[in-house]
Structure 1
Amino acid sequence: MAAAASHSAQSPSKSWLPAKSWHHFVAGGVGGMCGAIVTSPFDVVKTRLQSDMFRAKHVGVTIQANGAAAVTVRRNLLWHFVETVHIIRDIYRDESPRALFKGLGPTLVGVVPARSINFFTYGNGKQVIANTFNHGQENSWVHLAAAAVAGVATGTATNPIWVVKTRLQLDAHRPEFVGSGKSFFGGSVGTIKQILRDEGVRGFYKGLSASYLGVTEGTIQWVLYERLKKLTGGTKGKGGVQEWVGMIGSAGTAKCVASLITYPHEVLRTRLRQPLVDGKVKYTGLWQTLRLVIAEEGAGSLYGGLSAHLMRVIPNAAVMFFIYEAVLRMS
């Protein structure tokens, strides 16, 4: 009996929760913050390419001899990456260097609780689910369920912040930057007041249905990361550079695959969060937005901004999970 009690006290599922809960919370927030700062310009480009408010400006419009506008759309994947660099250059030149960091304030305000909630809920959730439903054993189904719960909790808690961030990034007239103090906070507060005035509290939850659809991305990412991390040696192998490279590669690969599979929800979410145009709401619901975007712009527009998104989220995931694993190891 004493031996059993001793074994229970030393088991990972019993000793892990009190100590690791806090470390997951902190590691996720710090990792997300660092990744967001480094990759902010790509986030601005991605949001603009997802929105129909900037597509004519960034896709390339030429005027024919008869005065008609002709849109040249390049479908080559390599061109889309070149296009992302061109758009960053144009924003830098036409708006200001600070414009490349529009929405970074709400991003930082949102990413810390979002990543903290996500890592906290996932890290603890997989233990609770495993102990409750799978005799304490983790597997892909346990990881999937925990990731889904974490995604729903994160999306619900932080949706208002992402609405404000999207509105700021779609405003070509306010160069808010995290270091600009008064102008940044004034821009965020002004956007919040405008949403409340024009759309009410419900305006802060636009795109929530698309966020719930996007839970699939986080679910796929977590399941793939756990699997790839195990294949590359996990976090309790022999250590060294090779192990860390394997973990970083696992994080980047998992995010890349998950993004490619689920990316259209990002475009739908951005459209739903767009500001009113002439006092009217163009996109009113998830399925209405999907049908309208395909009807007006074609199915290819559901992947608008994909190159900028990949250039942002892959290094973002690598940085975030590197810090996450490092903090857990130091604990």
Structure 2
Amino acid sequence: MSRLLEKPNIAMSIKSTGSQLSSTVATTATGAGTAAAAASADVEDEDASGAHDVTSASEQQSSSVTETPANSVSPSPSGRTNTNVDQVIISLVSGAAAGALAKTVIAPLDRTKINFQIRKDVPFSFRASLRYLQHTYANEGVLALWRGNSATMARIVPYAAIQFTAHEQWRRILQVDKDGSNTKVRRFVAGSLAGITSQSLTYPLDLARARMAVTDRYTGYRTLRQVFAKIWVEEGPRTLYRGYGATVLGVIPYAGTSFFTYETLKREYHEMVGNNKPNTLVSLAFGAAAGAAGQTASYPLDIVRRRMQTMRVNEANNERCPTILETLVKIYREEGIKNGFYKGLSMNWLKGPIAVGISFSTYDLIKAWLRELSHLKRGRLED
């Protein structure tokens, strides 16, 4: 190495593969009076590995050395892996932020809806829901309108992150709309599988959120930790998954319809306008339509889920309904279809489109922003 450094105008090339970066050094010795050294390193894209050249030149002579490998080099598996990992991280961060923002905005409406869902003695109406919000504000303060939101955030952040990321992966696995094809069935299946994946991994947090939403801090649970502790001691660990079957049955039409509607509207928009990146208002409108469709398709099972989750804390419901079928039969006999299975649906038509619209549009916006930052960072490394 020392002998190389003694000779002027020597270009050294060091080949590197995988994720390791090449380091090159070029020096020039003293010449006929004054000499200046210049080095340049060309780092290729992480998906391929090639030769990295450094050239040095004096004032009297400038030369460039370009080295082309004799045999073509295949794309680096490590480069593809790094790119896939980056995409997964971007999806996780974007989904978490989108879910947190959407649920925080509609938290008071969500708590109101849950309270009407689990009570058969109080008919639902917008006037009654406003009275409930006013009563909660007057007796417990404004923060009580967001009671249970800590449990919601503890659930929705991982839930939304997993759901959006799982949807991207299921789309890739099922080859949804690959090469411009229109695979509607696989588009629906990818959304359903994404919902099942996220719901299965975060269900106990959903149950805890429902318990906190239908109780107050004085007679119910003070913290999320207390919810899990009391359920574990008083009702047993299996209670943490009570209503899981109804949830999975409900998430299939909900997530499937939501993702299917949103992706289909974006596809139709692209075919009509020629722009595959709709603006924020258009994304909100598409998300709102997806939310309304998904909520309507799965709402009866959402009623069953909430009844099963809150059996022990709902004073108006003295009899236990241990199975999905028994709960469905009980609701139908005592409350009917409209006032039973679709009780509070109009509230969901208000909050659902808002939440899903914010969620989808925020996800697309943040994902595009993070991808741009990633490309800019990669570009700086290449310069």
Taking structure 2 as the reference length, the TM-score comes to 0.68
Deviation at 1:329, TM superposition (A): 1.4
| Inter-partner Cα distance in structure 2 for 1:237 and 1:264 | 38
- 2:164 matched to 1:123? no
From the superposition, tell whether residues 150 and 238 of structure 1 become closer, same or farther in structure 2 (CA, over 3 Å).
Answer: closer
- 2:333 matched to 1:266? no
Instruction: Please name the residue that 1:161 is paired with.
Output: 205
Deviation at 1:229, TM superposition (A): 1.2
Gaps of 5+ in 1: 60-72, 74-79, 177-183
Deviation at 1:141, TM superposition (A): 2.1
Deviation at 1:23, TM superposition (A): 1.2
Deviations 1:125-148 (A, max 9, x none): 1011118x9789562222222112
- 2:153 matched to 1:91? no
Matches within 5 A, 1:169-318: 169-174=213-218, 186-215=222-251, 216-233=253-270, 238=275, 243-276=279-312, 282-300=320-338, 301-318=340-357
| Inter-partner Cα distance in structure 2 for 1:89 and 1:281 | 30
Preserved CA contact (<8 Å) 1:263 1:303: yes
Preserved CA contact (<8 Å) 1:130 1:136: no
| Inter-partner Cα distance in structure 2 for 1:289 and 1:102 | 27
Deviation at 1:14, TM superposition (A): 9.4
- Mean Cα displacement is larger for which, 41-50 or 210-219? 210-219
Residue 109 of structure 1 aligns with an amino acid whose one-letter code is A
Identify the structure with the greater helix proportion.
1
Instruction: Please name the residue that 1:39 is paired with.
Output: 106
Deviation at 1:105, TM superposition (A): 0.7
Deviations 1:34-59 (A, max 9, x none): 1111110001001001002xx43x53
From the superposition, tell whether residues 197 and 283 of structure 1 become closer, same or farther in structure 2 (CA, over 3 Å).
Answer: same
Deviation at 1:30, TM superposition (A): 0.4
Deviations 1:261-301 (A, max 9, x none): 22111110000001426897612011110001111222221
Residue 135 of structure 2 aligns with an amino acid whose one-letter code is D
From the superposition, tell whether residues 303 and 95 of structure 1 become closer, same or farther in structure 2 (CA, over 3 Å).
Answer: farther
From the superposition, tell whether residues 41 and 7 of structure 1 become closer, same or farther in structure 2 (CA, over 3 Å).
Answer: farther
| Inter-partner Cα distance in structure 2 for 1:139 and 1:82 | 44
From the superposition, tell whether residues 239 and 119 of structure 1 become closer, same or farther in structure 2 (CA, over 3 Å).
Answer: closer
| Highest RCO, 1 vs 2 (Cα 8 Å, sep ≥ 6) | 1
Q: How many residues align?
A: 292
| Inter-partner Cα distance in structure 1 for 2:218 and 2:307 | 20
Residue 296 of structure 1 aligns with an amino acid whose one-letter code is E
* Secondary structure in structure 1 of the residue aligned to 2:270: coil
Give identity over the alignment, percent: 20
| Inter-partner Cα distance in structure 1 for 2:201 and 2:158 | 9
From the superposition, tell whether residues 193 and 140 of structure 1 become closer, same or farther in structure 2 (CA, over 3 Å).
Answer: same
Instruction: Please name the residue that 1:113 is paired with.
Output: 158
Structure number with larger C-alpha Rg: 2
| Inter-partner Cα distance in structure 2 for 1:171 and 1:253 | 32
Deviations 1:73-106 (A, max 9, x none): 7xxxxxx334332321222123332221121011
| Inter-partner Cα distance in structure 1 for 2:293 and 2:95 | 21
- Mean Cα displacement is larger for which, 40-49 or 302-311? 302-311
| Inter-partner Cα distance in structure 2 for 1:87 and 1:297 | 21
